Amino acid sequence: MSTVTGITMASMSSYAILGCGSVGHAVAEELVAAGKDVLILDADSGRVEALRDQDLTAREADIRDADVAADVTDRDVILILSSDLDANATAIENIRAQNTDQFIIARASDPVSVDRLTDAGADVVINPASVIADSALRALETGELEYKAKQLSDVIDRTDGRMAIRIHRSPNPDSIASATALRAIAASRDIESDIIYDGEIGHQENRAFVNLLGIELVSAETVDLETYDTVALIDHAKNNDSEPESSVDIVIDHFEHDHEHDVAFADIRPNLSSTSTILTKYIQELDLTLDQEVATALLYGIRAETLDFKRDTTPADLTAAAYLYPFADHDTLEQVESPSMSPETLDVLAEAIRNREVEGSHLVSNAGFIRDKEALSQAAQHLLNLEGITTTAVFAISDDVIYLAARSKDIRLDIGNVLEDAFAEIGESAGHSTEASAEIPLGIFTGIEISEDTRETLLGLTEEAVKTKLFDALGVESSESSNGS
């Protein structure tokens, strides 16, 4: 069964409309305006005469008559659009009895009648109520976006000095791209702003992203938020960040926040997969000239957040990406997505492969002692390519902290929730359904002073503890633990 709200039949040349009415009349006018050959058959003599007065080809006929099917055998497409369900079903049955391969579009009166018309032989069934509802919702969305774009502009315009754009700790491409877009919107209104982050820009792809596009970011350690007139939180949720001590004026995110915000402007849309999609809509609504740097950043932000459109992608994300695509620098995108692997990352990956433990489709590994904790993310991602593996977790020790990176392509599993369940009481975790991370103080497992002499011993102790907690949270039993090793 096919149910549609809009139809394009550009390749078809001849049409018949059975049972005209207001809907059929509107369709006929559009088709004739497009240069199509249209024949209209209707039982109302007055309506047929009115159609002829408008230079439309119309004849008087009852669409339930078997002869009507013979009259339209030379037509490529038959549109049966009367408001009489029984008449429409009869007309379909008569046409199909001719054993022709014409494409039939029929009008239903309600959702229940769709099945009846489909069973009679209609290729596509249209429910006018659904068409009107879809049109109304699109109009509502357009009006709401226009209203919110004006609200956002008004808040930005009230800035006397500079605006602070806060993004989450160790920001990912979606955060950085969204903030870059908001800074461009502010600049278009002659307001200067700084993108402020905590933590580090650690992952190699993220560093390449920032460096290749020349995106200026400011460490939170070097600024005083109280000096900014306007503060925006962009893509700030889902990373266990503490809320800024200063007041917040703008919140834009695709995740719900744990705290209520008393702000001048908020746009939180959990039905979208990336904050970059939201900012793209504002760029479009405000009709801004799209800078190549901003377009490239937003496109990469959407692609990264949706795993190149393989994770939780919505039609809005695809539409935003299609809009950005012609403006983006694709050579730069290719460089960002294929950064060279550092020697330490290779060492971490090799160590993770050697120490891996696999239970079912879950792989957990200890990478030992490391300097660059971001290498764990790349190792976890590479290990996900092993045959039969759907979930990976790689952990290591750095600066008296156990760092863990996890990845999953199992649609039944939310790896962010798994790490939260496993380590909420002893550390911090952040992430979502396909990628997550955790930080656990090393001393939490030992209760003894950590020194160079005790680190190797501690590594063995923590390995068993971390693996046990992870496998428990994943719902499987570690074979090493069950064997008493």
In a domain, 358, yes or no: yes
pLDDT score, position 483: 46
In a domain, 133, yes or no: no
Q: How far apart (Å, rounded) are the C-alpha atoms in residues 28 and 39?
A: 9
**Beta-ladder partners of 394:** 365, 405
In a domain, 3, yes or no: no
Range ranked top by mean pLDDT from 7-11, 183-187, 218-222, 348-352: 183-187
In a domain, 93, yes or no: yes
Give me the helices (H) in 236-394, please: 275-285, 292-305, 315-324, 330-337, 343-354, 375-383
pLDDT score, position 238: 62
Domain that holds residue 49: 14-126
Q: 324 pLDDT exceeds 90? A: yes
Nearest Cα residue to 15 out of 29, 2, 28: 28
95 and 153 housed in the same domain:
no
User: pLDDT of 267-304, one tens digit each?
Assistant: 999 889 999 999 999 999 999 998 999 999 999 999 98
In a domain, 5, yes or no: no
The CATH number of the domain holding residue 324 is 3.90.1640.10
209 and 314 housed in the same domain:
yes
49 confidence band (pLDDT: 50, 70, 90): very high
Q: Give, in order, the Cα–Cα distances in Å from 36 to each of 4, 8, 20, 170, 336.
A: 21, 12, 17, 58, 49
Q: 454 pLDDT exceeds 70? A: no
User: pLDDT of 172-218, one tens digit each?
Assistant: 899 999 999 999 999 999 999 999 998 888 677 788 888 889 999 99
User: pLDDT of 94-112, one tens digit each?
Assistant: 999 988 889 999 999 887 8
334 vs 187 pLDDT, higher one: 187
The CATH number of the domain holding residue 472 is 3.10.310.30
Q: How far apart (Å, rounded) are the C-alpha atoms in residues 479 and 485?
A: 9
- 67: amino acid identity, one letter: D
332 and 410 housed in the same domain:
no
287 and 363 housed in the same domain:
no
pLDDT score, position 297: 95
The CATH number of the domain holding residue 21 is 3.40.50.720
167 vs 134 pLDDT, higher one: 167
304 and 386 housed in the same domain:
no
In a domain, 447, yes or no: yes
181 and 285 housed in the same domain:
yes
In a domain, 277, yes or no: yes
pLDDT score, position 480: 53
9 confidence band (pLDDT: 50, 70, 90): very low
Beta carbons within 8 Å of 193's beta carbon, 6+ residues apart? 162, 163, 164, 165, 182, 183, 186, 187
| Residue where a domain terminates, one of 320, 337, 354 | 337
Nearest Cα residue to 434 out of 307, 255, 349: 307
289 and 427 housed in the same domain:
no
Work out whether strand 193-197 and strand 250-253 pair parallel, antiparallel, or are unpaired: unpaired
269 and 326 housed in the same domain:
yes
